[in-house]
Amino acid sequence: MVKSTDLLVVGAGILGTGHALQALRRGYSVTLTEKDNAPQEATVRNFGQAVISGLPAGKWQQYGLDSLALYQSVQAEFDLGLRNNGSYYIASNPGELQLIEELYQINLQNNYPCQWLSKAECLQRLAPLREDYCLAALYFPLELSIEPRTMIHRLLEYLKKKYPDTFTYLPNTPVVGCTSKNGLATAETSTGLYLQAEKIIICSGREFRFLYPELFRSSNLVVSKLQMMQTSPMPEVILPGNILTGLSIRRYESFQQCPSWATKDDSVYAKALLDYGIHILFKQAIDGSIIIGDSHEYAPAAQADQLGFDTNQEINELILEEAQRILNLPNWNIQQYWNGYYAQVKGADLFHHHIDEHIQIVTGIGGKGMTSGIGLAGAIIQQTWS
């Protein structure tokens, strides 16, 4: 059996589904395949935050803004579970205070809305915040909290309802080969289905190794393993917004634009926190539980199995110890721990490779997928048919 559409997208995470959404909005017919019963990799294992404030000024911030606008447009039609809670960056020492002051000025110049909050204002808004941790904060009111385990499924449901005649979603359909011939591309699936399209875009994260193993080995892709955890529900706690802290200020790319970035003092933090790439974020889920994390360990994508599938209890304890220095919670009962994995590119901000005029691979976006993936997809769809 051969099915033909304008576009075939391989991989139904946020990047692949974002390409499908952007193509459908432009009037193209789309087939979207997913190797599993439902997406279960980086898109559902992250914090669930759209934090444009963490992106560097320029194209990535624009991709984030474009994603934000499209999220809000879809949410107005169909409930994706998005909450416009905003994001807070909490400074805990003079060096971090200087960095958020500098980022505040940068965003004022770039016309991206932000607010400076004094210590008293922070403690008023964020009751669980420890007084001895906070000096001040930078607040970004436009940013979103997302339920990562459900949002992508809701977005796929939206596409099926919104575009019943031009969108086909095929879960449990691994693509095992792609070829181009006579002005079209064809994908062979493990189910015996052949899918034909004018264009194929492969957004299967680190899994394109099965389609193009030699290209994969030479790609400079790196896999990052993250550890996160989630408390039991605490409905008596109100923690509005995405909470990012001093260690986040040291990791997010936007702060690298700041004049004092090069002279920041990392010695104020335990070496183990920095060695494991830990930065502390908090986000309260709709059920009142709080997601906490995360850490970063790296391996070349071709040897990603070196990272293992288990959680490292030392990392969990380091995360919890630092988290308890920041928030006062009624309890710290953790209902679950998990790992997430995402691909990024050593020395680049994205892996985008054209196999030929009909087939391209888009992956290695790093931790920016939920925030800017849909906007990036719009730019690539525009280029693809320009």
Q: Are residues 255 and 228 in the same domain?
A: yes
User: What is the count of structural domains for the chain?
Assistant: 2
pTM beyond 0.85, yes or no: yes
CATH number where 379 lies: 3.50.50.60
State the Cα torsion 161-162-168-170 to the nearest 10°.
-50
Q: Are residues 200 and 323 in the same domain?
A: no
CATH number where 136 lies: 3.30.9.10
Provide the 8-state DSSP code for 220: -
Q: Are residues 36 and 173 in the same domain?
A: yes
- The domain boundary, picked from 347, 362, 377, lies at 347
Q: Are residues 191 and 134 in the same domain?
A: no
Provide the 8-state DSSP code for 129: B
Q: Are residues 294 and 343 in the same domain?
A: yes
- Which is nearest to 270 in space by CA: 207, 228, 321? 321
Per-residue model confidence (pLDDT) at position 207? 74
Provide the 8-state DSSP code for 261: G
Q: Are residues 330 and 257 in the same domain?
A: yes
CA distance 183 to 357: 9
Q: What stretches in the chain show pLDDT beneath 50? A: 1
Q: Are residues 77 and 180 in the same domain?
A: yes
Domain containing 120 equals: 87-141+221-347
Q: Are residues 47 and 154 in the same domain?
A: yes
Provide the 8-state DSSP code for 233: P
Per-residue model confidence (pLDDT) at position 2? 57
CA distance 6 to 156: 18
Per-residue model confidence (pLDDT) at position 350? 93
Q: Are residues 363 and 302 in the same domain?
A: no
Q: Are residues 246 and 329 in the same domain?
A: yes
- Cβ within 8 Å of residue 197, ≥6 positions away: 4, 5, 6, 7, 8, 31, 184, 185, 186, 187, 358
Q: Which CA distances in Å does 217 have to 34, 212, 298, 303, 322?
A: 23, 9, 16, 10, 37
- Which is nearest to 346 in space by CA: 249, 218, 204? 218
CA distance 91 to 274: 17
Q: Are residues 244 and 336 in the same domain?
A: yes
Q: Both tokens of residue 359?
A: 């087939």
CA distance 194 to 209: 20
Q: Are residues 192 and 136 in the same domain?
A: no
